[in-house]
Structures are given as structure tokens and as C-alpha cells.
Amino acid sequence: MTTFAEVLAAQLRRDPGRPLLTFYDHATDERVELSVTTYANWVAKASGLLSDVADLERGMSLRVDLPPHWLAPVFLGAAWTVGLRVTTSDEPDAVVCGPEALETWAPRAAQVPVLACSLRPLGVRFAEPLPERVLDVGLEIWAQPDGFAAWDPPTGDDAATDELSQRDLFGPRPAPADDLTAAAGSSLTHGGRLLSVADPASPPGMATFTEPLRRGGSLVLVRNPDPDRLDDVHVAERATARA
């Protein structure tokens, strides 16, 4: 296996009902849990959104400008399913952003697709109208099917990030180690459950999602963490490692 799609398909065959991503927001007391199947459905919908609505194709780039949130791994997976490079560039071919970054990206919506996530519970639409040309993910994504097949599927050689290929992230050999990759990889055993407060959409935090996925494990992601509550989350979610 050398691509995200192959790894996810293997997890769906192995244990589709197990939790893959559990999200907490200590500021709102929100909790969301996605099984492997539910995550795959969201990835398929987001892939359709990127491909059919934003008109993105294999080899193009996507900026995922989201805070620590369950939608960040969804759009990472969608980007890699379509064959997009997840970039930190300020000149991407398209961008997915949250409310806090909307002011930055909305003026660019006439030049590149800007997909905005409200980050409200259940992934619903924004309560207020968005600036002209900005696409509301909470509105657009529900029209997409629960299955997606790329017409030009990426290979392990396709760029997954500005630095790494899909083979680097998901192939049999570990990706080139940086501090957080090493931390996530060394402390997480196969099938383990990783508790993290890092942003999986950022290059340093990406391994907190890709490593559990590759190892048949799961991620417990906490936004706006309350230090006094993290130990309780660790126990309640039966986490086996922290990053």
C-alpha cells in the first residue's frame, strides 16, 4: 500500500465500525466520533466537492487552513483521494478555511475556489450569508454522494505535501522523521489510540493523524484543550499514547 486511498480501503475491509477519529472541543463541550465507515463517507463527499464543485484535478494544490477540528483530517483525506498536494503556500489552487481565516481568503474567491467551514456542530452551514463566491461547505457537501472514485487516481509518487509523497506517508517504510513524526510513531503501537491537541492540518501535526491511520489505530483530537480535563479524556477514551 502506497496511497491514502489504499490504506483507507484496507481499514474499511478490516474493521469498518471501529472509531477512527474522536473530536472534543473543550470550549463548547462538543464531542464527535467518526467510525472508519463514517470517516470514509465524509472523505468521499469532500472529494466530490473538491473535484466536481471546485474543479480540482490531480497534481493541483490545496491549502487546508483549519484549526484542530475533525474536518481537517476529512479534507486531508479528500485531497489525497483526488491526488492534490496539501500545501502551506499562500498561492494554492484552492483553499479550505474556517471562520477565523475567512477574512483572509474571501477576497481571493474570485481567483481561486474558497471553501469555508462554519465549524459548527455536525458540520452545518454558516448562520449568516458568506461573502460573494465563497462556497459554504456545510451547504455544498450534502449534495455529494457517499462514494467517490477518482477518474485519474493518484499513485504513491504523487505529492501529498510540499515535502512528502503519498508513498512517504503511507508506504511500508516510515516517512522521513521530524520531531512530531518521531514522537507519534515511537509512542503509538499498532492499533493504538493517540490523544493529541496538535493541528492535523499543519505539517508538524499531520503525523498525529496519518500515523494512527497507517497503523490501524485512531486519533482523539482535542481543540481548545483544558489541561485539567485532558487526563479524564485520556481515561475515558482509553488512549494509549499522547502527542
CB 126 within 8 A of CB 26: no
- For residue 242, the number of C-alpha atoms closer than 13 Å in the C-beta half-sphere is 7
Domain assignments of the chain as residue spans, ordered by start: 4-242
Q: What digits encode the pLDDT tens for the residues 143-176?
A: 999 999 999 999 999 999 999 999 999 988 554 4
pTM of the model: 0.93
Q: What digits encode the pLDDT tens for the residues 175-207?
A: 444 444 444 444 687 889 999 999 999 988 999
Q: What digits encode the pLDDT tens for the residues 130-150?
A: 999 999 999 999 999 999 999
Angle at 106 between CA 114 and CA 82, to 5 degrees: 10
Cell numbers 451547504 correspond to: 139
Other Cβ atoms within 10 Å of 209 Cβ, number: 25
Could you confirm whether domain 4-242 is CATH 1.10.3720.10?
Answer: no
The continuous run of DSSP H or E covering 77 comes out as: helix 71-82
Least Cα distance to 96 among 67, 128, 127, 122 occurs for: 67
Q: What digits encode the pLDDT tens for the residues 4-27?
A: 999 999 999 999 999 999 999 999
Say how far apart CA 186 and CA 189 lie, in whole Å.
8
Other Cβ atoms within 10 Å of 157 Cβ, number: 11
- The three cell numbers of residue 114 are 474558497
